[in-house]
A and B are shown apart, each in its own frame.
Chain A
Amino acid sequence: MKAKDLMVPIQDYLKPEATLREAVNLLRVARKGKERQGVKGLPVLDRDGKVVGMLAMRDILKAVYPSYMSMMHLGDFAWDGMVESLAKQVGNDRVEAHMSRDVVTVRQDKPLMECVDHIVTHNVARLVVLDKTDKVVGMLYERDLFFSIVKAMLDENNRGGK
């Protein structure tokens, strides 16, 4: 199996100049497969369809998390309502200000082990799948890799490989 056999073809993506408010709205209703049930992360594509970033749940958490809190141990001194008021403030920020710029990508014709390698070494939950011209063609999820491993493990005819 190759990356393209396991990936979900690209349907929804974000633009760098969109606001976080627009972005989280899309995250909430984006298609996963056929259903609009929301996703936990979307790629950010520029006008040419090149991937420039990734916006995932953790990036939204980091968007409301002030940088000074990570400089010292200040978590004990937060107050009720702090997250909510900061969420309102960052709603108008642009996606490019908060997206992760280190996007982990894989070519669509690569074997699954390379996908496992990327997910384990970069500690991410999803990969952006590219074609030969660096155009984004799909997303490959950790969960789908897990299911394909489960299938291989449980498949009686497939013990130890062919």
Chain B
Amino acid sequence: MTPEAAAASNQVVMGASFWIATALFLLAYGLIVSEKIHKTIVAIFGAALMIVLGIVTQEDAFHSIDLGVDWNVIFLLVSMMIIINIMKPTGVFEYIAIKSAKAAKGKPFMIMVIFSVVTAVLSAFLDNVTTVLLIAPVTLLICQALELDVVPFLITEALASNIGGTATLIGDPPNIMIASRAHLDFMAFIYNLSPVIVVALIAYVITLKFIFGRRLTVKDELRQRVMAMDEREAIKDPRLLKKSLVVLAITITGFVLHGMLHLEPATIALFGAGLLLLVSGNKEPHRILAEAEWATLFFFVGLFIIIGGVVKVGLIRWMSVEVLKITQGNLLGTSMIVMWFSAFASAFIDNIPYVATMNPLIIDMAKQLWPNLSGLQLLHHPDLMPVWWSLALGACLGGNGTAIGASANVIIVGMAEKMGKPISFKKFMLYGMPLMIESVLICTVYVWLRYYVLKI
């Protein structure tokens, strides 16, 4: 196909449905950003309108991965929520946190470092909001015991959770969404993202040393309060804990092997959730199921349908044509623009709707670059891979830029406020923005070096 013919086939018809869908999309995103109405309500109603107005059919919305709900994402999220909700009452997370504080010998900077690293590692396997909800309460207790200002600890944990979450397929919703649409498996994320995240985390800890290393001191008698805590008392249900850990190990092994087993990550997670529900002997599954974050799940469902609408009318294709005009098909340039644009976009808007929009945009862009390819040959084109990784790195790490950049930040700020220690937008940004730029710079060097210089 000649470039002219390709351009002609990409011609977008800007008819009535194009403008209706575009208006609906912009209105929905505007309302989500303004927070005037809860984002889940906006997403559900916007999705319903997309179907009622005939932009997408219900068949598209419910059954097409290109134009509707990506159930892979929904089932992966809900299954992981079920596993965590069963594990939570065993006390394992309290155990880990108290043990960490004691391992730091009650020394404040060591506690900050160990809590940050533990948060990052947990975030790589659990979602970030869950992780901070598990770590922050113990942090508040420890800081109360040591009579320390809790704010720096809370901020550093939120930032660490966003860094750690970037490392794996299941760590952060943007990665789950990218993995599903680009058909990338768990190990691909481990090979491509985990190494640079380890480096970014080390750099983060070193930076914390410069910022807080000398500022945090505490009296010996207060440290005794922490050292006197017995983490074994945290374990409320050792039998359930053993079962949970076995199921979790099976599930993570399943993630590692899912490419080889030809099973989607959502299938692995669903298997884990089902198995744990079965072996836990739970007589009232409705309680565990009710604790899943349905508002988040329905936000995804609605968003997928809204995006499906603008994909169907060609808005996304039109945007991808415009992006290609800017980048002139230069893929190093595209990767860099995608990474930095994603970082700053995610710092100010929710990265979930952002990535939901970028996924089809990148696929459309690839279709124009390689019109003769399709399926995995297209999605996994060697020149396209760094663009996917740049999107993941930018969108996940960008969340660190501001207090509203990631859900984990919002939770932390809310908790601090409840404790009578409000964290202003400016104060969060003072820590978050430089640390975000640091980590994205590291990723920039990494992507350039690995995919464009060394080409490995």
B98 & A72 in contact (Cβ 8 Å cutoff) = no
Q: Does chain B have a CB within 8 A of A150?
A: no
How far is it, in angstroms, between the C-alpha of A77 and the C-alpha of B141 when the chains are bound?
A: 8
On whether A72 and B415 interact (CB within 8 A), knowing A66-B144, A77-B141, A77-B233, the answer reads: no
User: Contact flags (1/0) for B122-142 with A, using CB distance below 8 Å?
Assistant: 000000000001101110110
Q: Does chain A have a CB within 8 A of B431?
A: no
Q: Does chain A have a CB within 8 A of B234?
A: yes
B418 & A74 in contact (Cβ 8 Å cutoff) = no
B234 & A73 in contact (Cβ 8 Å cutoff) = yes
B145 & A76 in contact (Cβ 8 Å cutoff) = no
B133 & A74 in contact (Cβ 8 Å cutoff) = no
Q: Does chain B have a CB within 8 A of A67?
A: yes
How far is it, in angstroms, between the C-alpha of A68 and the C-alpha of B328 when the chains are bound?
A: 53
Q: Does chain A have a CB within 8 A of B5?
A: no
- Rounded to whole Å, the gap between the CB of A88 and the closest CB of chain B is 13
A79 & B145 in contact (Cβ 8 Å cutoff) = yes
B298: chain A residues at CB < 8 Å are: none
How far is it, in angstroms, between the C-alpha of A68 and the C-alpha of B417 when the chains are bound?
A: 12
B225: chain A residues at CB < 8 Å are: 79
Q: Does chain B have a CB within 8 A of A69?
A: yes
Within 8 A of B (CB), among A71-94: 71-74, 76-77, 79, 82
Pair count A-B, CB < 8 A: 46
User: Contact flags (1/0) for B255-299 with A, using CB distance below 8 Å?
Assistant: 000000000000000000000000000000000000000000000
A69: chain B residues at CB < 8 Å are: 137, 141
A73 & B140 in contact (Cβ 8 Å cutoff) = no
Q: Does chain A have a CB within 8 A of B213?
A: no
How far is it, in angstroms, between the C-alpha of A74 and the C-alpha of B233 when the chains are bound?
A: 10
Q: Does chain A have a CB within 8 A of B33?
A: no
A-B contact pairs, 18 of them (CB 8 A): A66-B144, A67-B418, A68-B140, A68-B415, A72-B94, A72-B137, A72-B138, A73-B89, A73-B91, A73-B94, A73-B234, A76-B230, A76-B234, A77-B98, A77-B141, A77-B233, A79-B145, A82-B144
Q: A67-B419, A68-B138, A76-B233 are in contact. List 15 more A-B contacts (CB 8 A).
A: A66-B419, A67-B418, A68-B136, A68-B415, A71-B137, A72-B134, A73-B234, A74-B94, A74-B138, A76-B229, A76-B230, A77-B141, A77-B233, A77-B234, A79-B228
